Amino acid sequence: MKNLIIYLFLLTSFSFSQNKIPVRNINLFSPLNIKIFGDYLFCQKDYLRAIGEYQHYLTMASNDTVEFKIALAYSEMSDFSKAAEKFAAIRSNSPFYSDAEMELMKSLFQAGDFFEFRKNFQNVIGKNSTAFSKTISLYNFSFLLTNNPLPAEQEFLGAFPKEDLAKVKNFYEWKENPPEKSPVTAAILSAIIPGAGKFYTHKYADGIWAFIASVGFAYLSYDNFHAKHYFRGWLFGGLAAGFYAGNVYGAAASAQIYNAKIHFDFVSDLKSFLDARNYFLPKFKFCK
């Protein structure tokens, strides 16, 4: 009886001291736990740590999903070269092989490696109809980002869904006739009328100042020579020549800057368009 009371006391004291259901001792570094922790990190978008866990897991087990998710994690981190390398390493017997082929092309496209991208695209023609139908749009888009000749308009637009046609057509037309400004024209205009080249490149305030400075100093030079103030005449003449030369050079440079800006805006628009559509590829739902 005495023992029973002692045991009951110990029993109740230990049971209530926990105030919760006791948990089995677990190994946090077992392959399964590493994987589920990696999955958690992946869904938290903590991709670098998720990759670390997955790679640790792969040293102990083999898993096609994990291999694919490592590549996806690199892609999410915008490490496109590494993502391409990982997608390319997915084996042909993996259930993710077809997806990996498409994602590989997306990564190559995002990495700007259009040569490899097109090489891979040639490989899927006729071999993998899903990959081909999903990546043909991306293939056509690659022509908008390179200096290769564009395909015919009908052929180009044929790859896109109806709802995107108007926007894609705008991109196509922009690429066919980019609204660039010619540096030579800008320089010639500025040579004829100082500041005109800047007006041509939409830099109106710069154009007005270039005109005032060049013409103003030229007039001062003329006026001083006329009044026989030769030193001042030469001084202002030199300044006028400097401003004039700067105005011609500046106009050409301004045209180049203008062109660089419109190209940058074009590429940004294009990438935003593609990002919004996940590069015409399906999205994977590994996380709830």
Partner 1 sequence: MKSKLENIFLLFIFILLTRNSFAQDYLKKQFEYADSLYKNQNYYDAITEFKRLLFFDKYGEYKYQANEMIGLSYKQGAKFSDAILYFTIAEMNARNNDELLESKLLIIRCNILRRTTSHAIDLLTLLGNDKRFADEEKEIFYWKGWTYIFADEWNKASQEFSKTDTNETLSSLCKKVDEDKYSVAFADAISHFIPGAGQIYTGHYLSGLLSLGWNILWGYVTVNAFEANRVFDGLVVGNFLWLRFYNGNLQNAKKFAEEENLKITNKAMQFLQFNYAGLKP
User: Residues interacting with partner 1, by CB under 8 A?
Assistant: 3-4, 7-8, 10-11, 14-15, 17-18, 20, 22-28, 33, 37, 40-41, 46, 49, 52-53, 213, 216-217, 219-220, 223-224, 232
- Eight-state DSSP code of residue 218: H
Q: Which of 260/287 has CB closer to partner 1? A: 287
Q: Which of 26/276 has CB closer to partner 1? A: 26
- Eight-state DSSP code of residue 278: G
Q: Which of 190/214 has CB closer to partner 1? A: 214
- What is the CB neighbour count within 10 angstroms for residue 178? 11
| Minimal distance, residue 219 CB to partner 1, in Å | 7
Which residue type, as a one-letter code, is found at position 15?
S
| Minimal distance, residue 3 CB to partner 1, in Å | 6
| Minimal distance, residue 40 CB to partner 1, in Å | 6
Q: Which of 53/206 has CB closer to partner 1? A: 53
- In this structure, what token pair is assigned to residue 36? 């589920």
Distance CA 55, CA 78 (A): 19
Burial label, 40 (beta-carbon count in 10 A; 0-12, 13-18, 19+): middle
H or E element that contains 83: helix 80-88
| Minimal distance, residue 273 CB to partner 1, in Å | 30
Q: Which of 53/99 has CB closer to partner 1? A: 53
| Minimal distance, residue 96 CB to partner 1, in Å | 25
| Minimal distance, residue 142 CB to partner 1, in Å | 37
User: Which residue carries 């946090």 as its tokens?
Assistant: 28
User: Which residue carries 């995107």 as its tokens?
Assistant: 164
| CA dist list (Å): 152 to 118, 163, 166 | 18, 20, 16
Q: 275: helix, coil or strand?
A: helix
Q: Which of 17/92 has CB closer to partner 1? A: 17
